[in-house]
Structure 1
């Protein structure tokens, strides 16, 4: 085939893949199928079978992939150790007296839990069971209560240890350690902006929910001791990554081991809880790896077509400011996020987008944080809005329209945050630039 033929074939494969996904075919099935058929058309059936069999193993057998199950395990162990409720109670004691105190406490608690959990949907599911009943029981409006839990869960996408940042780092072939550290400041900045938004909303409209009562200093100090497990794991993760003393995988293993100890030494420890944590980790990890393996087959096919480089060259030929192209790419992700989950969306598009971003002269770590922030936005916007569906799954008595209504102010806050990160790249890059190489 000529170069034109292979590029056209690659473009047709993208259209075919999107059509399959839009038709309800699972991403890992669609990507593997299109990738395999594409390889067969270019290299023949024997070569396609060989490449489809070897490519997933050759890539996924990499040491860096083992960080994913470690980070996932930390979150499930923290949940079964009871640390989720402890962090919410501590936040409630410290900030409950503020306007919208329970909602503010929920955001702070989700941020704290996000520092030991790399999964947004898991975070929303946990706090739908812990924080949502508390807010509704205290007379908070249903929409804002559900919206807070859905939006709070998105913080796990940025705050390390973040599973989606690990996936981005693997596909973009950039430093996972620096990526995770780069997500720290933007993640907690997002949480701070959420808090300011809630205080503003509840001050303007006290009918959204009452403020709580103030607690004495003694109780505040006692509440800190109850979240010491999370604090220790956070120090291990951030300290190990920042100093370079531990690789991301070693950091995940050390964090999981410490969290396991907190589980074992709890007075109400049950062996079945640990078994559940391990089984849930296996299930989630298997799902993620299935998508990664399938997409790697498709990416190998795209590499043969030359489509990513052709698209990059075409986009770079435009005589416009590079930020115009960047914003167009981000808007494309907003539309795509209406129909796909974040992991699948990133895995399918990054092989095409990354060459363009590098060609435009943008830092790939900075872009990764921006892109994951866009993925957070997609988690709370219709029609998919996965975190909103998670909240509805836990509380089916709350209509979906109410949850999306409550999450709408956080969409505005997220857009403002993205604008801030684009305008001031040092918010993202300063901390990783200080790291030991």
Structure 2
């Protein structure tokens, strides 16, 4: 059997059997290298790559970001940010849904996780939107879509994984995600406004709040605002590296929780344990990818794919759009991190050969991965929201997220047409 047949057949069969992606790549990569270069090469690769990835100091940002998000959720920071946004704009039509989007964006800035954002904000906001008779399709769609801000807004675990696999700067990727994420948030807010304008019953007005109530809500939300400015502002101001910013953020949110009494030692231990489990899964995927990638190189699969795409003679932008469409298709049945580790070794050489900036490409890829989180039939964020709102039919949630999926598609096309939106900050702030 040819190396290509080994890679394709082995990966497809294992994924079809629902073998975890990391284990699938371990098996296919190890067996493939064993077939092509011998047992010594395969075992040597297993030992060396495991140590190299596990000892990479840049990856400390992953467990620290996850820990920061877990503790922030426990201390109620995300709820207070949501309540502040609600106090300011809840009285306008669709205001509660827009406040939910703002809350998702703020919590995503701490957690860097789409799933965590959708789960946390779903628990916080869905009951409120039900109380004010929001259309369930809109309320669940807002939470599922708002959660997708988690992987794009810095600090983002998605950017960290991309940076490691593509050998790019984590700091530059964090900077590159700022303007696109603001644009995506504005597109989501415009979508809510348009839906509620066309169908006023979808998002009724909330109760008006006094100036004193607005002030109290804003003061209560100051800790999460200060923490976000501390971590993200520290990176952009050059005071912290991404790893140091994650450490400062995690330490600050733990200190806040302990001082205010919103975090017990038992809860801290639980958040730490959950962070270790999640981080271990991410590390396992990365190690597996670095065993699978040498096999891809030996089997010449990237070269074959590059030649096939090159034969289409689509040009720079045409090739980029084809790659993004492949990611959209894969997103309907594969998890985001799995797509990154499986495809970047193939696509990065292609886009580099075309002169496409890998920072810009990273923003486009990560945004496309986010579209997969609300795409049927997998749509992880949709199922997360379903677990929080069990009475809403799954079909209604998918209908609710569709307008936001279209908003993401429009945002993606804008970013493709205007690369400067992604490259302005990393170009001007990191010379």
For Structure 1 versus Structure 2, the TM-score category normalised by the shorter chain is over 0.9
The answer to whether structure 1 residue 29 and structure 2 residue 23 are counterparts is yes
Q: What residue number does 1:404 align with? A: 398
Alpha-carbon offset, residue 65 of structure 1: 1.0
Q: What residue number does 1:300 align with? A: 294
Residue in structure 1 matching 2:94, options 96, 100, 112? 100
Q: What residue number does 1:86 align with? A: 80
Alpha-carbon offset, residue 152 of structure 1: 0.4
Q: What residue number does 2:380 align with? A: 386
Matches within 5 A, 1:116-155: 116-155=110-149
Matches within 5 A, 1:275-290: 275-290=269-284
Q: Determine the C-alpha separation between the residues in 2 that align with 1:14 and 1:65.
A: 29
Q: Determine the C-alpha separation between the residues in 2 that align with 1:268 and 1:256.
A: 15
Q: Work out whether residues 181 and 238 of structure 1, in 8 Å CA contact, stay in contact via their aligned partners in 2.
A: no
Secondary structure of the residue that 1:434 maps to in structure 2? helix
Q: Determine the C-alpha separation between the residues in 1 that align with 2:105 and 2:233.
A: 18
Alpha-carbon offset, residue 47 of structure 1: 2.4
Q: What residue number does 2:65 align with? A: 71
Q: Work out whether residues 53 and 286 of structure 2, in 8 Å CA contact, stay in contact via their aligned partners in 1.
A: no
Q: What residue number does 2:261 align with? A: 267
Aligned residues: CA RMSD: 1.6
Residue in structure 1 matching 2:190, options 190, 193, 196? 196
Moved more, 299-308 or 80-89: 299-308
Q: What residue number does 2:306 align with? A: 312
Q: What residue number does 1:436 align with? A: 430
Secondary structure of the residue that 1:146 maps to in structure 2? helix
Q: Determine the C-alpha separation between the residues in 1 that align with 2:86 and 2:289.
A: 43
The answer to whether structure 1 residue 322 and structure 2 residue 316 are counterparts is yes
Alpha-carbon offset, residue 314 of structure 1: 4.6
Q: Determine the C-alpha separation between the residues in 2 that align with 1:343 and 1:227.
A: 32
Q: Determine the C-alpha separation between the residues in 1 that align with 2:223 and 2:306.
A: 46
Residue in structure 2 matching 1:160, options 146, 149, 154? 154
Q: Work out whether residues 15 and 21 of structure 2, in 8 Å CA contact, stay in contact via their aligned partners in 1.
A: yes
Query: TM-score scaled to structure 2, two decimals?
Result: 0.96
Residue in structure 2 matching 1:47, options 36, 41, 47? 41
C-alpha distance after superposition, 1:302-324 (max 9, x if no partner):
23334324433553354332211
Alpha-carbon offset, residue 204 of structure 1: 1.1
Moved more, 120-129 or 52-61: 52-61
Q: What residue number does 2:331 align with? A: 337
Q: What residue number does 1:369 align with? A: 363
Alpha-carbon offset, residue 245 of structure 1: 2.8
C-alpha distance after superposition, 1:389-434 (max 9, x if no partner):
1111223222211110110100110000001101111111111112
Q: Work out whether residues 11 and 307 of structure 1, in 8 Å CA contact, stay in contact via their aligned partners in 2.
A: no
Query: TM-score scaled to structure 1, two decimals?
Result: 0.95
Matches within 5 A, 1:220-239: 220-239=214-233
Q: Work out whether residues 118 and 385 of structure 2, in 8 Å CA contact, stay in contact via their aligned partners in 1.
A: yes
Q: Work out whether residues 154 and 376 of structure 1, in 8 Å CA contact, stay in contact via their aligned partners in 2.
A: yes
Q: Determine the C-alpha separation between the residues in 1 that align with 2:16 and 2:328.
A: 16
Distance 1:16 1:269, change over 3 A: closer
Q: Which runs of 5+ in 2 are unaligned?
A: none
Alpha-carbon offset, residue 166 of structure 1: 0.5
Counting matched residue pairs gives: 431
Query: Could you list the runs of 4 or more consecutive aligned residues of structure 1 that deviate by over 4 angstroms after TM superposition?
Result: none
Q: Determine the C-alpha separation between the residues in 1 that align with 2:202 and 2:47.
A: 56
Q: Determine the C-alpha separation between the residues in 2 that align with 1:51 and 1:378.
A: 32
Alpha-carbon offset, residue 122 of structure 1: 0.8
Q: Work out whether residues 158 and 373 of structure 1, in 8 Å CA contact, stay in contact via their aligned partners in 2.
A: yes
Moved more, 422-431 or 292-301: 292-301
Q: Determine the C-alpha separation between the residues in 1 that align with 2:19 and 2:341.
A: 16
Q: Which runs of 5+ in 1 are unaligned?
A: none
C-alpha distance after superposition, 1:163-198 (max 9, x if no partner):
011100110000100101111111121111111110
Alpha-carbon offset, residue 31 of structure 1: 0.6
Q: Work out whether residues 98 and 199 of structure 1, in 8 Å CA contact, stay in contact via their aligned partners in 2.
A: no
Alpha-carbon offset, residue 215 of structure 1: 1.8
Q: What residue number does 2:8 align with? A: 14
Secondary structure of the residue that 1:405 maps to in structure 2? helix
Q: Determine the C-alpha separation between the residues in 1 that align with 2:174 and 2:13.
A: 33
